[in-house]
Amino acid sequence: MKIAITGVGIVSALGVGMAANKERLLSGKSGVGVPRILPTCHKEWPIGEVPFTCDELAVLAGAESSTLSRNILLGLVALKEAVADAGIQSPVPLVSGTTVGGMDITERYYHRWRQGDNGQIALISQHEAGFTTAELARRCGLVDAGTPSTACSSALNAIICGAGMLQAGKARQVVAGGTEAMTLFHLNGFASLGILSQSLCRPFQPDRDGINLGEGAAYIVLEEEQSALKRKAAIYGYLAGYANTCDAYHATTSSPDGDGAYAAMSNAMKMADIQPASISYINAHGTATVNNDASEWNAIKRVFGEHMPEVESTKPLTGHTTSASGSIETVFSIIRMQSRRYSYVMNNAFGFGGNDSSLILSSHPADLPSVSYCNIKECEAVETAGDENYSAYIPMMQARRMTATMRRMVVAAYKAIEKSGVPHIDGIIVGTQWGGMVPTVNILEQMAEQGEQDISPTSFMNSTHNAAAGTIARMLQCKGYNMTFATTAGGMDAAVEAARMSIAAGMAKNMLVCRYDEVDEHWQSLLKMIGKDSKVITKARVICLD
């Protein structure tokens, strides 16, 4: 089957809409500068802000009020453009990646809520990453089909999930991408890791010294080619291949030789059935940290050898738009492919947790394998309680980084694998409602107490939704498909369904599927103020080819 791209919507520091972004990308004028909208005291770190306040974004998005999170507002602006561009008029699926969710709202009110002031407490429900997608879908007449949350590769993994849905025949059109607003939370979190630059970032340069963060959103409309041709839709290009892998090396550091990146790029080329010489351009992840760029460059050299394509990082233009970077840079790859008449271009997006993904686009129709469901066995599920003795499974040096719930999760994973009798796990999918809530609230508490300083780097690296999947992958040395969904529903159904599809698509044979939810007592007391509750779930099962 063939997948065409028939719609695009984008908002970034370069401006609102495809036309503005294209003009600025081609002219090379950066949108990175001193923070003006984010209420931070750290003016020393330049960022790529979308140059509009929330009130202005609400007007652009046609939304009634600015009580929506900046994340939703940015997403709405880009999504409406993509939907209109492709002329979508029916409720097609939306897959949208994010990590911060409604954090910009949470951090605005948290210091008051924690003191019992319940003004605006209803807005706390926006915090959930899954809420962002549900709200975007509702406002655009689409169907919420999931929220990939794999840190900085979230939006690229959303596109990969969207492609899988078309290959499986679940839809003829899918809208996929991601949105991420700047927050104090992740600005200070990245600062705690010591990887922010005080000047314009310099990807792949010997004197590079870190990231400029950025924000934005982008969506593309993926459409089965026959459907696109039938309605004479304009076609930007085609999806030729993709891969999702895990570096399984360290929570925040890439392996020196870039094994995960190497596997992502080579597996994507395998799917596209092309040789390195066919790729003309790579939109690299290129964050401008010493570690990422060295690791990615080594991986690119290993893959391409003497056939080195043009390698570009567009992060000096937009800043690192983290969870949205995968779709924003897919749009930039489309623009480069069109303006330079390239046949094949590649886009890399790598995230903390070792979540490495690559996507290949082509200017001409490309064949992708169809997915047919095969016989799949669901092994027995294991649910762990709070009194597990974890020391038999987790070495002390690793356990010390984990919250009690994370340890329970890892034990459930090991026990589920034991029960299944499967010798080797080659894919991991985790569903979680709130992600790492204990480390998240720890950082919110630190910011409420001491302002924007001395954030714990350990808490920040554990706060992302994909921390559990990354941890388990490292412990199992599982370098295959690795995915985390932020999911509002409490069960494992969404993750199990995603596992079935990934196995059918040949991305893994023996998948570990987990449901991970952590409760923080401060957070719990806030949720009670709106009559909500959260509970600890640590459940795992293996799903495999029968």
Partner 1 sequence: MEELKRQLKQQIIEAINLEDMTPEDIEDAAPLFGEGLGLDSIDALELIMIMDKNYGIKFADKNESKAALQSIDTMAAYIKEHRTK
Footprint on this chain of partner 1 (rule: CB under 8 A):
192-194, 250-253, 396-397, 399-401, 454, 456-458, 461
DSSP 227: H
**Tokens coding 1:** 């089957």
Nearer to partner 1, 189 or 319 (CB): 189
CA distances from 541 to 127, 146, 373, 414 (A): 28, 20, 19, 10
* Burial call 315-332: b when 16+ CB within 10 Å, e when fewer: bbbbbbbbbbbbbbbbbb
SS3 542: strand
Nearest one of 184, 151, 348, 160 to 251, comparing CA atoms: 151
Alpha helices in 223-321 (DSSP H): 225-230, 259-272, 290-304, 315-318
Nearest one of 66, 68, 96 to 82, comparing CA atoms: 96
Least distance CB 396 / partner 1 (angstroms): 6
Nearer to partner 1, 399 or 536 (CB): 399
Least distance CB 249 / partner 1 (angstroms): 11
Least distance CB 192 / partner 1 (angstroms): 7
DSSP 283: E
Least distance CB 43 / partner 1 (angstroms): 19
Nearer to partner 1, 397 or 531 (CB): 397
CA distances from 223 to 2, 81, 346, 403 (A): 8, 16, 19, 42
Separation of alpha carbons 153 and 109, rounded Å: 28
DSSP string, 14-28: TEESHHHHHHHHHHT
Least distance CB 213 / partner 1 (angstroms): 18
Least distance CB 46 / partner 1 (angstroms): 21
Least distance CB 152 / partner 1 (angstroms): 17
Least distance CB 533 / partner 1 (angstroms): 29
Q: Which amino acid is at 479?
A: K
Nearer to partner 1, 341 or 400 (CB): 400
Nearer to partner 1, 322 or 462 (CB): 462
Nearer to partner 1, 259 or 329 (CB): 259
Nearer to partner 1, 338 or 456 (CB): 456
Q: Which amino acid is at 397?
A: M
CA distances from 168 to 192, 242, 269, 364, 368 (A): 42, 15, 20, 22, 11
Nearer to partner 1, 143 or 399 (CB): 399
